[in-house]
C-alpha cells in the first residue's frame, strides 16, 4: 500500500538514532554534535596546534534548479546576489590568509560543494579560483574537487577549472533513467542522455577523476533499473562513484505525489538493502576498490601502484578478493583522508560551511545576507561549533575514521599517544562480539558485509557521553542555539582571551 510505503520511508529516514540490532541510517559526517555558540575570536584565542597541511571546503549555496529533497543550505541562482556572495568569499579568504593559523599552512586538498558550485559563470569561477591560488598556499599535487550537475558544466567552465588545478569533479547524476529523474523533480534539469554527454565531455577534457553520485530509494526504482544503472556506470569513463540514500521530506511535493499514488512507491527497506548489496558485490567483483561503504574507485591502475597507492583486504579471511584503498596513500583521495582519516584541519569558507581548525569544529553563518555583511565588516563569519579536547579528539578519530572502514593503530597512537583498542577496549570488544569490527595488530577494521551495513551504528558507538543521542549538526542547528539553556561558548572550560 502506497501510504504504508511512504510512512515507513519517512520514519526510517530522519530518525537519527537506532541502537543495534536496529540499523542506524543517519549519515554521520561531522563530529562533535553538541554545538554551542562560537566565534572566530574564541577559536583562535589560544593557539593549540599549528596545522602543517590543511584542506578547504567552499560552500556555493546556489542551484539553477533546487531539488525538493535536498537538505543543504541553498538558493536559486540570482545574479546580483551571486556577485555579492563571491565578493564576500574573497573577503573571507583574505581574512584567513592573514590568520597566523592558516598563513603558513599548505593546502593539500579542497572541495567546492553546495548547492551547485558550477552554477557560477566561467569568469566567476576563474576569478574565485585565481584569488584563492593567489592568497593561499597550495601544494603541487593538491587535489581539488568540485560538485556539479550534468547541465551546469560546459567546455568553457571545464577549461577554467583545469587551468586552476581542479582535478576531481563530483557529478550529481542520481540515475540514468528519465522517469526516475522526473519523479525526483529533475526532469527540467537533466536526462540520462545529457548526463552521458556531459560525462564524455569531461572525459575528453582530461580531468583526472570524475566521480558520479547515485541515489538508492528513488520512487519507482527497482532492482532491475538499479542493475542497469550499475552497468551504465561501469561502461562509462567514470573513475569513482558514490551512492546516497534518497530521503522523502515530510510535506514535500514528492511526499504527496507518493501518497496520492501519482508516483510509484519508494523501494522497501529490504529492496534498498539488496540494491546496496548488489552494488557492493558487482563493483568489487570487478576489482573496484572501496573507499567507504558508499564510495568506490576504479580498479588499481599501474601508474597509481607505481606512485605508492596501497590497498588492504576488505575480507580478512581471504574468502573474497575484495580490496579497499588506503586513502592516505593517494593524493586524489586526500580530502577524504584529511577530513575523516587524519581528522585534520579544514578551513570552512562560505555561508553554512563546516570546518575544523585549532581543535574546534565550527560552522559559518548560514544566513546568506548575514554572512555577506559579516565578511564585509572584516569579521570571520563563524557562528557556532564545539571544542574538542583530547578525549573528544580520540572519539572523533574513530567516529569519522571508521567511516573509511579501517583505522591503523600505529597512526592513531602517533596522533593521540594511546592505542585505540586499549583506550576504547570495552566498546571495541562489544562491536567485535557483535561481528561489526575486527581487530589485529595493525588495524581496527569494519567487517564486510555486516559492519558495512551497520557503519553508522559503529561510528556512533564512539560518541562521547556529551554527544550521546544527539543528531548530526546541520546549518539549521543555529535554531537549536536560540533555545539552549547553556549559552556559553563551545570552548568548554578553556579560558577566554581576547584575540
Answer for which of 223, 250, 299, 321 binds other proteins (CB under 8 A) is: 250
The rounded radius of gyration (Å) of the Cα atoms in the chain is: 22
Q: Which of 192, 284, 193 is nearest to 234 (CA)?
A: 284
* 47 sits near other proteins (criterion: CB under 8 A): no
Residue 131 CA from chain centroid, whole number? 25
Q: Is the dihedral of CA 450, 455, 457, 459 positive or negative?
A: positive
Kindly indicate which of the ranges 12-20, 48-56, 200-208, 281-289 contains the residues binding other proteins, using the contact rule CB under 8 A: 12-20
Alpha carbon distance 108, 44 (integer Å): 22
Strand pairing report for 437-439 and 443-446: antiparallel
Kindly indicate which of the ranges 18-26, 112-120, 379-387, 403-411 contains the residues binding other proteins, using the contact rule CB under 8 A: 18-26
Q: Which of 190, 109, 108, 187 is nearest to 148 (CA)?
A: 190
Answer for which of 78, 231, 391, 450 binds other proteins (CB under 8 A) is: 450
* 8 sits near other proteins (criterion: CB under 8 A): yes
* Shortest distance, position 302 Cβ to other proteins, whole Å: 35
Kindly indicate which of the ranges 16-24, 84-92, 304-312, 328-336 contains the residues binding other proteins, using the contact rule CB under 8 A: 16-24
Phi, psi of 38 (to 5 degrees): -155, 140
* 223 sits near other proteins (criterion: CB under 8 A): no
* 338 sits near other proteins (criterion: CB under 8 A): no
Residue 315 CA from chain centroid, whole number? 25
Closest to other proteins by CB, 8 vs 29, is: 8
Show contacts with other proteins in window 268-287 (CB under 8 A): 268-270, 272-274, 277
Answer for which of 15, 281, 410, 488 binds other proteins (CB under 8 A) is: 15
Closest to other proteins by CB, 160 vs 284, is: 284
* 468 sits near other proteins (criterion: CB under 8 A): yes
Q: Are 294 and 242 in contact (CB under 8 A)?
A: yes
* Shortest distance, position 165 Cβ to other proteins, whole Å: 36
* 435 sits near other proteins (criterion: CB under 8 A): yes
Length of the chain: 499
Burial of 4 (0-12, 13-18, 19+ CB in 10 A): exposed
Q: Are 125 and 157 in contact (CB under 8 A)?
A: yes
List contacts with other proteins (CB under 8 A). Answer: 4, 7-12, 14-17, 19, 21, 23, 34, 249-251, 255, 268-270, 272-274, 277, 426-427, 430, 435, 449-450, 453-454, 461, 465, 468-471, 474, 476-477, 479-480, 482-486
Amino acid at each position: 500500500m502506497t501510504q504504508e510505503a511512504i510512512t515507513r520511508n519517512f520514519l526510517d529516514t530522519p530518525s537519527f538514532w537506532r541502537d543495534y540490532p536496529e540499523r542506524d541510517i543517519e549519515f554521520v559526517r561531522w563530529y562533535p554534535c553538541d554545538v554551542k555558540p562560537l566565534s572566530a575570536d574564541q577559536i583562535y584565542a589560544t593557539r593549540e596546534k599549528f596545522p602543517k597541511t590543511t584542506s578547504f571546503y567552499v560552500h556555493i549555496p546556489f542551484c539553477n534548479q533546487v531539488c525538493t529533497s535536498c537538505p543543504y543550505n541553498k538558493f536559486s541562482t540570482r545574479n546580483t546576489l551571486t556577485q555579492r556572495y563571491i565578493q564576500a568569499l574573497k573577503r573571507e579568504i583574505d581574512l584567513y590568509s592573514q590568520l597566523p593559523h592558516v598563513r603558513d599552512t599548505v593546502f593539500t586538498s579542497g572541495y567546492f560543494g553546495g548547492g551547485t558550485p558550477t552554477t557560477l559563470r566561467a569568469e566567476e569561477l576563474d576569478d574565485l579560483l585565481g584569488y584563492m591560488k593567489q592568497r593561499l598556499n597550495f601544494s603541487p599535487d593538491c587535489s581539488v574537487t568540485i560538485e556539479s550537475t550534468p547541465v551546469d558544466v560546459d567546455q568553457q567552465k571545464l577549461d577554467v577549472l583545469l587551468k586552476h588545478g581542479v582535478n576531481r569533479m563530483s557529478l550529481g547524476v542520481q540515475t540514468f533513467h528519465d522517469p526516475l529523474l522526473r519523479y525526483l523533480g529533475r526532469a527540467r534539469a537533466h536526462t540520462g542522455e545529457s548526463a552521458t554527454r556531459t560525462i564524455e565531455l569531461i572525459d575528453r577534457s582530461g580531468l583526472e577523476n570524475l566521480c558520479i553520485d547515485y541515489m538508492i530509494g528513488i520512487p519507482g526504482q527497482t532492482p532491475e533499473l538499479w542493475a542497469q544503472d550499475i552497468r551504465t556506470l561501469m561502461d562509462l569513463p567514470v573513475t569513482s562513484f558514490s551512492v546516497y540514500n534518497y530521503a522523502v521530506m515530510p510535506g514535500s511535493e514528492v511526499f504527496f505525489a507518493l501518497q496520492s499514488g501519482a508516483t510509484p512507491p519508494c523501494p522497501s527497506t529490504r529492496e534498498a538493502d539488496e540494491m546496496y548489496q548488489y552494488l557492493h558485490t558487482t563493483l568489487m567483483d570487478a576489482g573496484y576498490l572501496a573507499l567507504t561503504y558508499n564510495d568506490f574507485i576504479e580498479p588499481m591502475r599501474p601508474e597509481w601502484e607505481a606512485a605508492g597507492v596501497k590497498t588492504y583486504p576488505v575480507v580478512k579471511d581471504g574468502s573474497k578478493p575484495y580490496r579497499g584503498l588506503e586513502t592516505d596513500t593517494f593524493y586524489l583521495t586526500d580530502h577524504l583522508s584529511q577530513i575523516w582519516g587524519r581528522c585534520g584541519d579544514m578551513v570552512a569558507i562560505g555561508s553554512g560551511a563546516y570546518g575544523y581548525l585549532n581543535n574546534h569544529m565550527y560552522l559559518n553563518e548560514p544566513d546568506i545576507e548575514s554572512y555577506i555583511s559579516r565578511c564585509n565588516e572584516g569579521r570571520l563569519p563563524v557562528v557556532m561549533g564545539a571544542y574538542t579536547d583530547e578525549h573528544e579528539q580520540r572519539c572523533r578519530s574513530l567516529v569519522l575514521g571508521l567511516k573509511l572502514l579501517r583505522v591503523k593503530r600505529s597512526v592513531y597512537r602517533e596522533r593521540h599517544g594511546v592505542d585505540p583498542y586499549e583506550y576504547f577496549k570495552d566498546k571495541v570488544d562489544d562491536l567485535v562480539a557483535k561481528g561489526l569490527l575486527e581487530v589485529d595488530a595493525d588495524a581496527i577494521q569494519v567487517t564486510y558485509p555486516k559492519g558495512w551495513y551497520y557503519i553508522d551504528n559503529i561510528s556512533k558507538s564512539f560518541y562521547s557521553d556529551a554527544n550521546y543521542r544527539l543528531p548530526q549538526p546541520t546549518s539549521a542547528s543555529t535554531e537549536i542555539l536560540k533555545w539552549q539553556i547553556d549559552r556559553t561558548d563551545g570552548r568548554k572550560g578553556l579560558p577566554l582571551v581576547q584575540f
